[in-house]
Amino acid sequence: MYFIKKQFIYLRKNLFGSTFTPLNLDMKNTKPTIHDISKVLNIDSSTVSRALNNSPRVSKKTKDLILKKAEELGYQKNTLASNLRTSKTNTIGVIVPRISRNFFSSVISGIEETGYKGGYNVVIGQTFDNLEREQKLVSTFLSNRVDGLLISISMETTDYEHLENYKKNGGPIVFYDRPVSLKDCPSITINDFEASYKATKHLILKGCKNIVHFSGVQKINLYKNRKEGYFSALKEYNIPIREEYVFEAKLSEEDGIEFAKRILKMKHIDGIYSANDTAAISAIQYLKSNGIKIPKDISVVGFNNDPISAVIEPSLTTINQPDFEMGTIACSLLINLIENKNIQVQNLSKILTSELIVRNS
Amino acid sequence: MYFIKKQFIYLRKNLFGSTFTPLNLDMKNTKPTIHDISKVLNIDSSTVSRALNNSPRVSKKTKDLILKKAEELGYQKNTLASNLRTSKTNTIGVIVPRISRNFFSSVISGIEETGYKGGYNVVIGQTFDNLEREQKLVSTFLSNRVDGLLISISMETTDYEHLENYKKNGGPIVFYDRPVSLKDCPSITINDFEASYKATKHLILKGCKNIVHFSGVQKINLYKNRKEGYFSALKEYNIPIREEYVFEAKLSEEDGIEFAKRILKMKHIDGIYSANDTAAISAIQYLKSNGIKIPKDISVVGFNNDPISAVIEPSLTTINQPDFEMGTIACSLLINLIENKNIQVQNLSKILTSELIVRNS
DNA sequence: TAATAAAATACAATCGATTGTATTTGGTTA
DNA sequence: TAACCAAATACAATCGATTGTATTTTATTA
């Protein structure tokens, strides 16, 4: 029996073209498996597996033998098989609105850094702020058995069934930047309220009386909090709160231009606090091209500290967020949840602090 | 036998807490499989599998029955098992120097777009221009049995063993932006030579006589080609080629500043042609802060058409590349290679055309 | 109605690694 | 040297879906 097996291997390795080759199929799949190693060395595949995983149940002598042969044959573990058996993929799914936004790509870098250190692969998907895409991504991640999910929800997301489904059948979820209050799902966010308060106060102290606020979709807590912070500063300085001073949109470049047009019509606006830099910057450009002097006529504060904000003239006063750090913290928290199933999820959420960067706008 | 099986299912589904439950293990893994459907309906699992894959070998009647029950049980295919059996993952691996660069995130968007349309998941990894990271990523993609690879190599990559290994044991490779001449691996690039020629010519026609060139690592063809294009324009206008006018580095922000310092020392430089916008922009800023007028004293042309290039003052003349398109073309070519194993790989490479965008620098 | 073809379904092996249990080997003690 | 224990290894089931082959059922024709 042993001899036959050994001979079989021999044929397989050396007589490809020969008529003696058992099956042509063998030519396709030349990748060696633990069974190949097992047959060549006449050692059971279970021992081979244990040796490759450095189990204490295998003697050093056979371990060396197996490792050497594995190297020699160019063996590489078939992760698919391993994952199937252990029902663990060592993969983290990341869902992000769009990677082209500097803030998000920095968060991703933080996530990857921590993920790789912890032995996890990181898989990234973009939603482009589209709900359908988000659902599809979550579903893909679920059927690919990603061990856990890091997500910043899309602007269109109001229904959380896909997330609840993942939580139930997939694994833990950690929200970052744009949280959702879902049972047992912690979130890593920044102190939007305080940051907004500081930003608005900065404008007030510079003498602005009529400050508009560029805001995003209110279903996203982050934008609500930023609006509240803006209100709170106005209140403190006895400036009347006027709902018509709050502009809502997706805060794209086009939205910024749209808002700038509105401001020109309103005539008496002297301050802008925008919930992101993208809209602030396009608004500044439009206003400048229409003869408005920044900051003489209108002062502007943005949010995110995009690289462009330092380059535009005048350079943009904005809020800097600990983006990379947000990624590392969210990721290590998620890994913690994946590996310690019985952890208490209460009080795991974290609010990071951001800072106002005063520039020339 | 049948009855026992059926009863087993019954226990499993309804008597969780009961002492009659066969095994506690069952409580962990509640995700239904085709075997669960098979048992409940008393239909063989092979038929269930075929029904779910809409095989013509199953009658419409049983198909409906199975699909309904699958829906009812909340069945979701275990992709791991499927992938293991078919040894296909329907996944494309993308390796990118860094996603934070606008050019690359646009390429990725193009790749995702095409990938999803073709039924492929897209997995992204960043190298940060580090060889070790690149090798690790390729190895991870290989052992995760990604169906094909799209890669823009890192600046440190001079040895291609990891890629050859993937090609041999993994699947097809398509290069984009930064190609490597590896057997049977086509590439999608842009006409760097012509674009550079045009950019340099533009500076010459504006009256520049002493034009320096910011270049990248010469091992990367792209930078070599851009340098050649620059030389070729100089030659055509009988401007002496001076090797000391070519600055080489990784073209980071810091490199741009470093280069600007050199230019200040050289005194007589009146033109800069940079192989990317990042370095061009930081150089402009440094030069401006040192009293140089752009473009009066020194004219500048960049490469990439980063969003910042339109915002900086003066706005930067640069080369716009069809980034999104590069992604879609590279991806559909790769899918083609994955699905048609016997395709002729000759002449599949493609060179896209880019255009000079004249602004105020 | 019997014979036959075609359609529908069941059987069983497989993908490659993991892991609980059983068996063998080698060393130690009485 | 027999008895015993621990270390090392082998056996066999399993993860969940797929797929070639065999069998059963149904429909069709003579």
My answer on whether B186 and B206 are in the same domain is: no
My answer on whether A185 and A197 are in the same domain is: no
Tell me, yes or no, whether B217 and B154 share the same domain: no
**Interface check B312 vs A, CB under 8 A:** yes
For residue A361, being part of any structural domain is answered with no
pLDDT at residue B175 in the model: 97
Please report the DSSP string for B243-307 in residue order. Answer: GGGEEES---HHHHHHHHHHHHHH----EEEESSHHHHHHHHHHHHHTT--TTTT-EEE-SS--H
Q: Are residues B115 and B207 in the same domain?
A: no
**Closest alpha carbon within chain A to B139:** A76
Contact A89 B81 (CB under 8 A): no
Which residue in the set A98, A102, A143 is minimally distant from B76, CB to CB? A143
Q: Using CA atoms, how far apart are residues B213 and B249, in angstroms rounded to an integer?
A: 11
pLDDT in tens, B325-334: 999 999 999 9
Round to whole Å and give the CA distance between A249 and B200.
42
Q: Is the domain of A198 the same as that of A277?
A: yes
Same domain, B304 and B208: yes
The pLDDT of residue A10: 27
Residues A184 and A330 in one domain: yes
How far apart (Å, rounded) are the C-alpha atoms in residues B102 and B353? Answer: 18
Buried/exposed code over A193-211 (b: 16+ C-beta within 10 A; e: otherwise): bbbbbbbbbbbbeeebebb
Q: What number is the average pLDDT over the span A82-92? A: 94
Q: Kindly indicate the confidence band of residue A221, based on its pLDDT and cuts at 50, 70 and 90.
A: confident
Distances, alpha carbon A206 to alpha carbons A191, A211, A215, A241, in Å = 23, 11, 21, 18
Contacts of B155 (CB under 8 A, 6+ apart): B97, B129, B216, B217, B219, B220, B250
Q: Is the CB of B78 under 7 A from strand C?
A: no
CB contact under 8 A, A78 and B89: no
Chain A hits for B80, Cβ within 8 Å: 80, 83-84, 87, 89, 144-145
Q: Does the C-beta of A56 come within 7 A of strand D?
A: yes
Q: How far apart are CA B250 and CA A293, in angstroms?
A: 38
CA dist A48 and A354 (Å) reads 52
Interface test with B, best of A86, A105, A130, A169 (most B CBs within 10 A): A105
Chosen domain end from A62, A84, A106: A84
Which chain A residues contact residue B288 at CB under 8 A?
Answer: none
Whole-angstrom distance, CA of residue B36 vs CA of residue B9: 8
Sheet holding B148-151, edge to edge: B121-126, B91-96, B148-151, B173-176, B187-190, B350-352
Is A285 inside a domain boundary?
yes
For residue A10, give the amino acid letter. Answer: Y
Cα–Cα distance for residue pair A279/A227, rounded to 1 Å: 15
Say if A105 falls within a structural domain.
yes
Alpha-carbon dihedral angle through residues B93, B94, B98, B104, given to the nearest 10 degrees: -160
Same domain, A305 and A329: no
Give, in degrees to the nearest 5, the angle at Cα A144 between A142 and A148: 55
- Of A134, A113, A141, give the one whose Cα is nearest residue B125: A113
Instruction: Look up residue B262 and give its amino acid.
Output: R
Q: Which residue of A has its CA nearest to B93?
A: A123
Task: Give the Cα separation of B147 and B172 in Å (integer).
Answer: 8
Q: Rounded distance, CA A237 to CA A227, Å?
A: 16
Q: Is residue B348 part of a domain?
A: yes
Q: Hey, of B30, B100, B121, which one would you mutate to test binding to chain A, going by the most A CBs within 10 A of its CB?
A: B100
Contact between the CB of B39 and strand C at under 7 Å: no
B226-272 residue pLDDT tens: 999 999 999 999 999 999 999 999 999 999 999 999 999 998 899 99
* Helical H segments across chain A, by residue range: 2-14, 25-28, 34-41, 45-52, 60-73, 79-86, 102-117, 131-143, 161-169, 192-205, 221-236, 253-266, 277-289, 307-311, 323-339
pLDDT at A31: 87
Instruction: Tell me if A360 is assigned to some domain.
Output: no
Shared domain check, A218 and A101 = no
CATH of the domain at A238: 3.40.50.2300
Nearest to A311 among B29, B87, B311 (CB): B311
Mean pLDDT (whole number) for A100-128: 92
Choose one of B49, B65, B84: the last residue of a domain. B84
Query: Tens-of-pLDDT digits for all 361 residues of chain B?
Result: 222 222 222 222 222 222 233 333 333 347 899 999 999 999 999 999 999 999 999 999 999 999 999 999 999 999 999 999 999 999 999 999 998 888 999 999 999 999 989 999 999 999 999 999 999 999 989 888 899 999 999 988 889 999 999 998 899 999 999 999 898 999 999 999 999 999 999 999 999 999 999 999 888 889 999 999 999 999 999 999 999 999 999 999 999 999 999 999 998 899 999 999 999 999 999 999 999 998 899 999 999 999 999 989 899 999 999 999 999 999 999 999 999 877 777 788 999 999 999 999 8
B255 part of a folded domain? yes
Residue A268 phi/psi, 5° resolution? -95, 10
| pLDDT value at residue B174 | 97
Domain residue limits at B72: 2-84
Total of domains in chain B:
3
The verdict on B311 and B196 lying in the same domain is yes
Query: Is residue B69 assigned to a domain?
Result: yes
* A36-77 pLDDT per residue, tens: 999 999 999 999 999 999 999 999 999 999 999 999 999 999
Distances (CA, A) of B137 to A109, B32, B162: 15, 33, 10
pLDDT tens readout for residues A174-198: 999 999 989 899 999 999 999 999 9
Please name which of A281, A299, A305 lies closest in space to residue A357, comparing C-alpha atoms.
Answer: A305
Q: Which amino acid is at A169?
A: N
Residues A51 and A127 in one domain: no
Residue B202's identity, in one-letter code, is: H
Beta bridge partners of A274: A214
Q: Are residues A204 and A139 in the same domain?
A: no
pLDDT at position A28 over 60: no
Q: What is the CATH number of the domain that holds B49?
A: 1.10.260.40
- Is position B361 within any domain? no
C-beta separation of A353 from A319 below 8 A: no
